[in-house]
Structure 1
Amino acid sequence: MPAHEVRPTPVRTAITHTRVLDGTGNPEYLGDIVLESGIIAGIFPAGSFKDDGATVLIDGAGLVACPGFIDLRGSSDTAPLTDPARHSALTQGVTTEVLGQAGANCAPLTDASASLLRHHLAGMDQDWADRDVEWRTVGQYLDHLDSGTGTNTAYLVPRNAVRNLATGSPADAPGAQQLVAEVKAMADALEQGAVGLSSSAPVATATPAETAELEALCAAVGAYGGYWAPTLDSLAGPVTESATRSVGLAAKTGVPVHLTHLAADSAGAAGLLTVLDRALKAGVDLSCDSHPYLENPGMLASLLPGWARDGQDEDVLARLDDPETVARISSDMEASDVDWDALTIAFVGSGQLAMLVGQSIARIAAIQSSDPVTTLVRILHTDSLATGVLYAAGTEEDLRAILVHRTHTGAGVGFGSDTAGHPGVWGSFPRFVGGLSREAKAMDLPAVIHQLTGRPARRLRLSNRGVLAVGNAADVLVFDPDAIIDMATFADPRQPAAGINHVFVNGVPAVSEHQPTSALAGRALRRGPEGTTQFI
């Protein structure tokens, strides 16, 4: 198959004598699965399919067939724009990614924010130096994605994108008239196919204007049948407090809430999960996600106080260049409970800082005879905020408790770039299956597969994906249950997973006999008028 072929014609394929896990959580059964014209054309008792000479046959004996994995915290918005083949996702069995929670805002755009996005893209992919960002609306962005990606994609609108559209700056909370414009922009995005809203979790110090803004946006999203995905960043503050504020706002506005990047902090997981259980008992429509590693990737800038990181990069850098503002930052951070020894530099944007990679902030501060906050500010200023970090969150017991919770869905690490230095970019989903089920025996295989397929499909309200059923889209994964595991490590993070034999996206082979095909068979999935999500 030619490299990067867009929407190649699906070939009739039969996966025979395979162990079928349909994504519902029900027990497995043996069957023959026939894929034709991009859909699941039939599921028959094992051995009943007869070779007609016109069908590609895959011997599934001893292998498991299940729906393709769904990553509700996909890579950054820009990953499909700079890496349309999406090998890092497909080789771990992911066929659908939700964008809009990390990286640059991709839609809706003003002319000014489109120029900033183009500059950002050109920094990652030189091809964008000679291209323009031609879209402005969410609908146009989804059209662009639909012109060629390896995975299916859905889009959450970042709060800062609609704020920028209404106020001219993501740093400015809207006034009354601007809030009307912001809600209108959110409604337009939902009508054009967005599946919901993403934002940081609400903070205790939010102004009345900021609180009113988030409540109005969430109410609009709920009315359209979308969902809200607040990110719980343990670097930015106590996670249990963030979760409490998030579920409280969801209860007040009626919006379904998906807590993104759920990870314990030094307080542990027990109190955090109690917040979730109480919310469920109160009737809140709630789900969450996390990746299966203790080590989390993040941006060093996220440790700054919220007020200090508002706005565009140039706004933040200007604050870091002002001694009085830096003194205020230092004062605000003195009480922060950061383990500087556990916070290590994962990647940098500037070559002159390359010697810092792998070093802890505490060690760098000691070498520089400085304090950790001053060291942090210096690094951010020199690196133009491009510094990434790795940090441990909670304990193995905390992580296990979150992963087995009844609201949990599996997710990737949320970083699209291999420079993140995190093995989860290539290995999160096989680690769920091989580590959580086969090795740790914390969950049975049908339950783990349900977490990665049927449960996230329900959150997205996918009309025909996430479950193996006749008539559904042929997003299908075939894997070896005895071999599936992540192979990527922190020392060598660009390693495809083991045990992924075949992956089909809309009936087209995306991985064949363990090797990616580079076929661009993915579709942009849009929230429809009835609230369900599909490609149109």
Structure 2
Amino acid sequence: MSKATLLKNGWIVDGTDSPRWQGDILLAGERIVALAKTGEIDAATLDAYGPVESIDCTGRVVAPGFIDVHTHDDAAVLDDPGMLPKLSQGVTTVIVGNCGISLAPVVTEVPAAPLSLLGRLQFRHASMAEYAQSVDAATPAVNVAALMGHTALRMRHISDLRHAATQAERDAMAADMQEAMDAGALGLSSGIFYAEAYAADMPELVSVATVAARNGGVYATHIRDELAGILPALQEAAATAKQSGLPLVLSHHKCAGPANWGRTKETLPLIEEMAKGQEIAMDVYPYTAGSTVLREDLVDGIIDILITGSQPHPEMGGRYLADIAKEWGVTQQEAALRLKPGGACYFQMREDDVDRVVSHPLSMIGSDGLPHDERPHPRLWGAFPRVLASYWREKGLLRLEQAVHKMTGMSARRFRMGERGVLRAGFMADVVVFDPEVVQDKATFESPKQFSAGIEKVWVNGVLSYTAEQRATGQRAGRFVRRGAAQAA
């Protein structure tokens, strides 16, 4: 058991969106054991857990560890279990398996896109249970919760990805979905935006999603179209979730492409209206650029496109597609074809749209970072401090308590994560201490691998895992987090 720690006289922002208050928090073992106004945790309680290390948090915010609800860290937690890009932001739990992309249940030496977004080395888990065992064996520095990816199921079971699943293929996918839920998965994710899953129809999706619903799961989806067809795509996602009996999470909600700029004034009211009849939430990252595989159909000659990596032309990483095309004397689309397979950041959103989504009461924060990109989008290292610095302190679009709630308590509740996301006696001791006046993302598109400022200390399951002075402490205490459970070791 780790020693008891008393965090004294901090601003307690507990993850529930309640007003902050000054107080003390006692951590012992892997739990929060007491909270009270400054000086009011009684001596008998302190003696029961002694000796106690006291840390003065005057002028600092003490909050639940941040939950990154939208990651592609599936392999990163195994390849690089120190997880500094997330731990250094105050993130204590990552949700993997988003956009239909998960390591399980695909076993292959040569992962095809979009699974290749997860890297190329860890596709050796034939079941969610095997993946969970690998996570626990790796002991990453952050907790890991998982969705089962629909695209991964398709790539394992469907002989021709250009067609919807047959009944036999649906049954095989449903069996794997049941195994995943038995292993503690949070639910199902889909990414019918990608060609490998685009042919999936509603009966196929519902046949798999219903299994997740029977087991208390959720459904997160990268919808079919975030460009001109965004409204029917949102309606399709809501109908799929409603028919399956699942809570819906709309992944990285955005209005992409210049022709779509400003349309959050249409999409957000539609989502609100649909949410009157079913549970709907969404996640969002606080940037105007997205990042995914390099696709020539996303090249419109208008938006800026930054190449994050190219297998045939690795020397072009970090350069803009327009400059490469000019140098080669070809169109941008032809240059994209030459650079494939690869990845890119697409500057396809407008800031006022992002502002509306981040500040919307149904939105949570997810980084959507790609840790295996050689030059990743800066959201991998900076998304959570950026919300605090930009949307609370600078723009004033969120109260501090709202910003923290969107990164903690709301996330744990929407994803059925049990005793996490809130500072409460008996809950898991995932805690971050930060300086509210200093906290700031430092990662940029030009220099994306930068530590944020102001994140001072991070505890994961009661273990001090990160300090601003030391960076990683060398103590890793993360584990596979199962749906809704108390999570005791």
Q: TM-score, normalising length from structure 1? A: 0.82
Corresponding residue to 1:373 among 320, 330, 333: 333
1:243 alignment counterpart: 234
Displacement after TM superposition at 1:508 (Å)? 0.2
2:220 alignment counterpart: 229
What are structure 2's unaligned runs of at least 5 residues?
Answer: none
Q: Secondary structure at the match of 2:173?
A: helix
1:25 counterpart = 2:20: no
2:135 alignment counterpart: 145
Q: Counterparts in 2 of 1:70-219, with a 5 A limit?
A: 70-101=67-98, 105-109=102-106, 113-116=107-110, 135-147=125-137, 148-167=139-158, 173-201=164-192, 210-219=201-210
Displacement after TM superposition at 1:26 (Å)? 0.2
Q: Secondary structure at the match of 2:274?
A: helix
1:272 alignment counterpart: 267
Q: 1:45-75: CA deviations, max 9, x gaps?
A: 2023568672121101111101000011023
Displacement after TM superposition at 1:420 (Å)? 3.7
**CA distance in structure 2 between the partners assigned to 1:156 and 1:205 by the alignment:** 18
Distance 1:480 1:189, change over 3 A: same
Q: 1:395-435: CA deviations, max 9, x gaps?
A: 21111100111110011133123524322111100011111
Q: 1:418-454: CA deviations, max 9, x gaps?
A: 5243221111000111111011111110111111100
1:311 alignment counterpart: none
1:291 counterpart = 2:261: no
Q: Secondary structure at the match of 1:212?
A: helix
Distance 1:353 1:503, change over 3 A: closer
**CA distance in structure 1 between the partners assigned to 2:11 and 2:278 by the alignment:** 36
Q: Secondary structure at the match of 1:13?
A: strand
2:419 alignment counterpart: 464
**CA distance in structure 1 between the partners assigned to 2:318 and 2:407 by the alignment:** 33
Displacement after TM superposition at 1:345 (Å)? 3.2
1:519 alignment counterpart: 475
Q: Is the 8 A contact 1:137 1:189 kept in 2?
A: yes
Q: Counterparts in 2 of 1:341-490, with a 5 A limit?
A: 341-350=302-311, 352-355=313-316, 357-360=318-321, 362-380=322-340, 385=341, 387-417=342-372, 419-490=374-445
Displacement after TM superposition at 1:198 (Å)? 1.2
Partner amino acid, structure 2, of 1:377 = L
Partner amino acid, structure 1, of 2:185 = A
Distance 1:169 1:193, change over 3 A: farther
**CA distance in structure 1 between the partners assigned to 2:225 and 2:243 by the alignment:** 24
Displacement after TM superposition at 1:22 (Å)? 0.7
Displacement after TM superposition at 1:394 (Å)? 2.6
Q: Is the 8 A contact 1:423 1:488 kept in 2?
A: yes
Partner amino acid, structure 2, of 1:115 = E
Corresponding residue to 1:10 among 2, 10, 13: 2
1:42 counterpart = 2:34: yes
Q: 1:141-191: CA deviations, max 9, x gaps?
A: 101101211100011111122223433566664211221222122112111
Identity %: 29
1:328 alignment counterpart: none
Q: Secondary structure at the match of 2:201?
A: helix
**CA distance in structure 1 between the partners assigned to 2:170 and 2:486 by the alignment:** 27
Report how many residues are paired: 476
**CA distance in structure 2 between the partners assigned to 1:170 and 1:207 by the alignment:** 8
Displacement after TM superposition at 1:533 (Å)? 7.1
Q: 1:193-250: CA deviations, max 9, x gaps?
A: 1111111146999988633211211222222111111114767764334222212222
Q: Is the 8 A contact 1:76 1:102 kept in 2?
A: no
Distance 1:400 1:104, change over 3 A: closer
**CA distance in structure 2 between the partners assigned to 1:204 and 1:475 by the alignment:** 38
With a CA cutoff of 8 Å and minimum separation of 6, indicate the structure with the bigger relative contact order.
1
My pick for the range that moved more, 182-191 or 403-412, is: 182-191
My pick for the range that moved more, 210-219 or 351-360, is: 351-360
1:6 alignment counterpart: none
2:455 alignment counterpart: 500
Q: Secondary structure at the match of 1:413?
A: coil
Distance 1:55 1:225, change over 3 A: same
Q: 1:70-123: CA deviations, max 9, x gaps?
A: 0110233111111101011011000000011269631123xxx243469x99x9
Partner amino acid, structure 2, of 1:279 = M
State the superposition RMSD in angstroms.
Answer: 2.9
**CA distance in structure 2 between the partners assigned to 1:461 and 1:253 by the alignment:** 17
What are structure 1's unaligned runs of at least 5 residues?
Answer: 1-8, 305-335
Q: 1:248-272: CA deviations, max 9, x gaps?
A: 2222322111111112223221111
**CA distance in structure 2 between the partners assigned to 1:197 and 1:140 by the alignment:** 17
Q: TM-score, normalising length from structure 2? A: 0.89
Distance 1:376 1:513, change over 3 A: closer
